[in-house]
Amino acid sequence: MKDRYFVVAALLLVALSAAACSTKNTLLPLDASTTTAMDQDTMDQGTMDQGTMDHEDMVVEENSHDHDHGEMVDVSGVANPPEVSVTATPDGTGGATLDIATSNFTLVPANPPSDHQPGEGHLHIYVDGVSIAMVHETTVHLGDLSDGHHNIRVTVSTNDHRDYTLGETVIAASTEVMTTGGTAAQEADHTLALEVMDGMVMGGIQRLAVSVGEVVAITATSDTDDSLHIHAYDLTLELKAGQPSTLFVEASIPGVFEGELHHAGFQVLSLEVS
């Protein structure tokens, strides 16, 4: 009888143990599923934080680049991006006074340089494609200009000297001025004329070979507003639809250089310097 009770008791213990193990086996997958979901939430949050951190790092990295003229700050997504306009009045003594107007923009001194602050910066002034000054004033006098026509271009720059742009288009204004009473007009050793109509260069890409030290006068006419850029020399000539504009290039760098229309995006000339 005792042996029978012992066997029954043993069977009951085995059954209870199996039930306990079965309960554990049922709970483990549930716990594992809950843990996996929690880890996934944590991972997703971590991924989101990493994306935000990369964006912040990018801004910090941009701010760390002082005087990097090769980069740009695109403000096409800003509701009221900076605007600029310019007029030029000759003074009769070989100079001209620029009257510049800006909006949606705060002008601050270019020096000492400082970190980028949105909507803040200074102006870069170009004469015949050559950068001559960085200013924060809106009235600027230019002197020592040669007699003749000059292309004046003003661009809007960040505190760390990058161009503000709308997409790939630099925010800028340009005008032409005819000066007299100054030094004799620059004489060119070579001239090159090109005309762009309906998205094509009339007569094909214009090519010219010159020697180092010679001066080339490039006169360009386009049926749409655009800008002519000479690679390596980093010269830019603003073009107004239907109005010829001239850029003087001193061939000081040997090599073969392309000239292209910035907005149209195609080559219009080739300059070989040897």
The string of pLDDT tens digits covering residues 79-112 is: 999 999 999 999 999 999 999 999 999 999 988 8
Answer yes or no: do 91 and 161 share one domain.
yes
Answer yes or no: do 174 and 194 share one domain.
no
pTM of the model: 0.60
Say which CATH number the domain at 256 has: 2.60.40.420
The string of pLDDT tens digits covering residues 49-81 is: 323 222 232 222 233 333 344 478 999 999 999
Residue 164 scores a pLDDT above 60:
yes
What SS3 state is found at 184? coil
- Residues 173 and 85: their CA atoms lie apart, in Å, by 5
What average pLDDT does this structure show over 119-123?
95
Contact by Cβ (8 Å): 98, 205? no
Full residue range of the structural domain in which residue 140 is found? 72-179
Domain boundary among 179, 201, 231: 179
Q: Rounded to an integer, what is the distance from CA 54 to the centroid of its chain? A: 20
In a domain, 51, yes or no: no
In a domain, 35, yes or no: no
The residue type at 163: D
In a domain, 137, yes or no: yes
Is the preceding peptide bond at 112 cis, omega within 30 degrees of 0? yes
Say which CATH number the domain at 145 has: 2.60.40.10
Answer yes or no: do 77 and 143 share one domain.
yes
